[in-house]
Structure 1
Amino acid sequence: MPYRAVIFDLDGTLLDTLEDLADSMNAVLEQQEYPIHPSSAYRYFVGDGVDMLVRRCLPEGEWDDDQISRYVDAMEEEYSRRWDAKTRPYPGIPELLDNLEKRDFPKAIFSNKPDGFTQLTVKKLLDAWNFHPVRGALPDVPRKPDPAGALAVAAQLGVDPADCLYLGDTNTDMKTALAAGMHPLGATWGFRPAAELQASGARRLLHHPTELLDLL
């Protein structure tokens, strides 16, 4: 079927943010004298918002909700200092986006990253391309995999959800797309393995960004 728009996840899909996220959270853990984690472990810690990232990084049972709130604030402060130190677009992403621009194909970004960081990140690292809308996590909207945010993005695009491709790299993204009635695509270059994406409902796995063009 002819798709009319594509919605991109941000971290692990358009941008390789893993090292900066890991460095930021590990700095918080070190400050609190908790064990730190290798960067590879963060592939499974991220994807569901900062609150869940913090909870997954802490030793089990050694925290309460007030501590979580403080560590979330600390994580956001650390991340604000180094969020662009190592983060870059994945290979093939600029080529894909250039091609979509030439086709005047509508594209948007929807992330579980806090909206302020999402806007800042896109403005600095993806400003060469036109995304509308760009949407991060907002306090009054449920996070992915709840479909509310994705449906709001489709409404802003003026496109029926069934006509939207949704490209992401985690089970959360696949569940979001399915719940919103969109066409879920799994980005295997991102944080999670292909098997997880397939098991979570990916209609197709992409192994290089430009493979998306075959669907247009």
Structure 2
Amino acid sequence: MPYASARDKGKARAIQPLQRPEESATSPSSHAASSRVHPYPHPHPPLPPQQPHMTMPLSPPKTSPSPPGLPPFPGEEPNDVFSQAGPSRRPMEHAPAIRGPPIDVDAVETSSTPVEVDLVVQCKACRTIVGDSSAYVAARKDLGLLVLSSVAQHVVLSNTPSTAQDPDLNSLYMPLEITCGSCGSPLGKVYRMTAAGLDELRDGYSFERDRISV
């Protein structure tokens, strides 16, 4: 069999009829090619139909059992286990306020009750405060003495004991002096030993009435 030349092959290729577009679209080869590109009949699969929106009914809130020692709340079923617990520790409700009798404001403002104020005891020479009436013990008019249980820091005792004369016979005392600046005036006595009837003067600060000012 004689071989065909290249020229004859070109003529045969040119004479081959062209395939129509309609035939190419419906041909098995074109359908197979399209099926390899798109695995589904459509590029995007259709969405499933939406279900109608349904609302769930709300259930009533659950009530937890009361802890031990607490009674059930109103509307809650009592629990047999917790009902045997100890006393309740729930804070008690506020009791109604107890009202007292009305206060007479006018009577309080116009009250004539005297207000007690401590009297200050001063040295008559230099006006230095040596004590006040909060330490008052006694006042002896027959001896002219004002007795206090404590004094200010300016008051000091002498180191030399002395014996008292009339009217406080046979009494041993320590002279009481004040030391503040340049004033060294004696103010009274501190009795260590006293005669009968003068016990209230013992170990107290006895100021002489004419040496102090109140």
**What is the TM-score when the length of structure 1 is the normalising length?**
0.17
Higher-helix-fraction structure: 1
Which structure has more RCO (C-alpha within 8 Å, separation ≥ 6)? 1
What is the TM-score when the length of structure 2 is the normalising length? Answer: 0.17
Name whichever structure is richer in strand by fraction: 2
> Over alpha carbons, which structure has the higher Rg?
2
